[in-house]
Amino acid sequence: MRIVWLALFVVLMIIEIATVGLTTIWFAAGSAAAFGLTFTGLSVGWQIGGFLVISIVLLVFTRPWALKYVNKKTEKTNYESAIGQTVRVTARISNAGQTGKVMLGGQEWTARSADNQKEIEEGKNAVVEAVEGVKLIVREKEEK
């Protein structure tokens, strides 16, 4: 069983290195623990139990922390930074008519209303609520 646990550890580490998904690393740690249990003379059932307990405990309790603090320096992509931005409607937005354009950052985007029943007239300001493909989903900005 030592070879099985060691091979599983190596395979899981290769998968983690290839994907960097912070998922298989916890199971690799579980297989390392099971590998360690083989030296105690415990049965295969105890080894599998140790593998499962260690893997699940690490996955549940450390993965959220790791996701929060690992790769903190990621930057938003262009579309993520568009959400919440105010845009100017350059062509009337009508979901029924499949029309609508807005200007964002000096570029013209296709736009649709977040409310299917609401049309937004040219010249109005709108706020980007989402991005779907190459379309901005906007809601008319309430002028104060």
SS (H, E, C) the chain: CHHHHHHHHHHHHHHHHHHCCCCHHHHHHHHHHHHHHHHHCCCHHHHHHHHHHHHHHHHHHHHHHHHHHCCCCCCCCHHHHHCCCEEEEEEEEECCCCEEEEEECCEEEEEEECCCCCCECCCCEEEEEEEECCEEEEEECCCC
The answer to whether residue 78 scores a pLDDT higher than 70 is no
Confidence band, pLDDT 50/70/90 cuts, at residue 64: confident
Residues 53 and 93 in one domain: no
Q: Looking at residue 92, which CATH number applies to its domain?
A: 2.40.50.140
Residues 104 and 85 in one domain: yes
Confidence band, pLDDT 50/70/90 cuts, at residue 15: very high
Residues 133 and 100 in one domain: yes
Residues 51 and 83 in one domain: no
Mean pLDDT to the nearest integer, 57-63: 89
The answer to whether residue 133 scores a pLDDT higher than 60 is yes
Residues 90 and 51 in one domain: no
Residues 63 and 88 in one domain: no
Residues 91 and 109 in one domain: yes
Residues 88 and 126 in one domain: yes
The answer to whether residue 74 scores a pLDDT higher than 60 is no
Report the number of distinct structural domains present in the chain.
Answer: 2
Could you say which of 69, 100, 120 is where a domain stops?
69
Residues 27 and 82 in one domain: no
Of the chain, the percentage scoring pLDDT greater than 90 comes to: 66
Mean pLDDT over each residue of the chain, to the nearest integer: 89
Mean pLDDT to the nearest integer, 48-61: 94
Residues 106 and 58 in one domain: no
Could you say which of 48, 69, 90 is where a domain stops?
69
Could you say which of 69, 92, 117 is where a domain stops?
69
Residues 97 and 119 in one domain: yes
Show the domain range for 23: 2-69
Q: What is the pLDDT at residue 105?
A: 83
Residues 62 and 115 in one domain: no
